Every structure is written in structure tokens, then in C-alpha cells.
Amino acid sequence: MNGSPPRVSVIVPVFNGERYLEETLRCALGQSLKPDEVIVVDDGSSDSSAEIAERIDGPVRCIRQANAGVAAARNRGLSAAEGELIAFLDHDDLWPQDKLEIQVAALRENPEVDIVSGRMRVIGGALPGRPWSAEGPREAPAGAYLAATVIRRSVFDRIGPLDEGIGHAADDLEFFMRARDLGIRLLRLDAVTLLYRWHGGNTSTDIESGALGQLEAVKQSLDRRRGTQS
């Protein structure tokens, strides 16, 4: 690995996340490879989320906006980010301490790779009806979870920002499907890179709305692939 290490920007969208936000930010700042900046985008919270972000010591910036959804908040952070590498972290999740170190090293060692993902471990309560319930394993491939990845900034320059109109809780999946369809190279590591906190108020509990968004993401992918083949 030659040259200076790339700058890393962490983007944390938050909506009424005062219960977990400080722990999440301290987790990001406490990485073994320190991020160069942590950008918190407060998406119209009515609680003290923005004030919590503004009082944290370290390279933390807080941007406030009217409520527009998590994809819009992530895109707002992306537009303000200065790093060559982007890592998203939801306000109620955590990372293993070496997450950035492992994934940044993988990107530096594999210049042909654009995205590095890993595995996620569920913390907190059990997820009813999920394969990682209390009776089953609580660790699984991260799949379409942006918070488990580190992404080269150039990916967004090539394929565009996150889709703000895709529907509830489906912008992660849409991004990964679009990236795949457009030739973005992804490497999956056999290492935990996301600690997904289950607390019962997660956006993923809205199964019906999430399913509609996922179906739309699949339809868009099929349309892209048909267009490429025609």
C-alpha cells in the first residue's frame, strides 16, 4: 500500500435518535482507524439529537434539515463529505472497533474493488420471525446494509446518489442492485463490520412498506438489465 491513507468520511443520518446517538458517535470516533470527519444529518428531529451531535468533541459536524427521509439525509451528508471513502452509520447502530481499519485496508489492497462489505451481528433483543432470532444465530452476511460497508466516493460520481423516492427502507437495496447492474465491484469480508441494534422501533419493522420499496428496487433493476440487453 503506497501513498497517504485515503480520507474517510462517516455519515450519520438521525431522526429523533437521542436515546442512542451519543453512543453511536463515540463508537465512530473510537475506531482504531480514526475517521477524518463525522457528518451528522439531523432529519427534522423534534428531540435533542442535533444538540447531542453538536456537543460531541472531535471532528463532528451537524447539518440540520427539514424531515425528508433517511435517503435524503444520507445524500445531504454525502454532498458535504470531503473524504475519498464513505462509511454510513445509522444513529442506533454500532461498529466493531476495527471496522474502518479492516475495510479501508481491503480497499487499499484491492484497487479494483469499489465497495467492501462484511457480516452483521444483531445486538439487543431478538428479531421475531428472523433467522437470527433468540433461538437462532445472531450473525449473518450483511447483505444490503449500507452501514456494513465502506464505499469509494467515486462510486457515487459514477452511478449517482441514493434514490430518495424508492420507498420506505429500500434505499440500501436499490443502491446495491444499481451498483451491481452498472458494474461496481464489491468484496465481502468474513468479518463483522456492523452491530445492528434491534430495539423494536427500527424502520425495518414496517414490513409491508419495506416490501413495496424492495419490489420497486427489483423492478428498476430488471428494467435496467432489459435496457442493457436490448
Give the integer Cα–Cα distance in Å for 68 and 81: 19
Q: Grid coordinates in use for 86?
A: 464513505
Q: Grid coordinates in use for 29?
A: 470516533
Give the integer Cα–Cα distance in Å for 121 and 119: 7
Q: Position of cell 458535504?
A: 80
| Tens digit of each residue's pLDDT (9 = 90 or more) over 138-188 | 666 666 799 999 999 999 999 999 999 887 678 898 999 999 999 999 999
DSSP element (H, E) containing 198: strand 186-198
Domains of the chain: 8-229 (3.90.550.10)
Pick the closest to residue 101 from 28, 46, 179 (CA basis): 28
Give the integer Cα–Cα distance in Å for 145 and 121: 12
pLDDT in tens, the chain (230 residues): 567 889 999 999 999 999 999 999 999 999 999 999 999 999 999 999 999 999 999 999 999 999 999 999 999 999 999 999 999 999 999 999 999 999 999 999 999 999 999 999 988 755 455 544 444 446 666 667 999 999 999 999 999 999 998 876 788 989 999 999 999 999 999 999 999 998 655 555 454 555 655 556 556 655 666 775 44
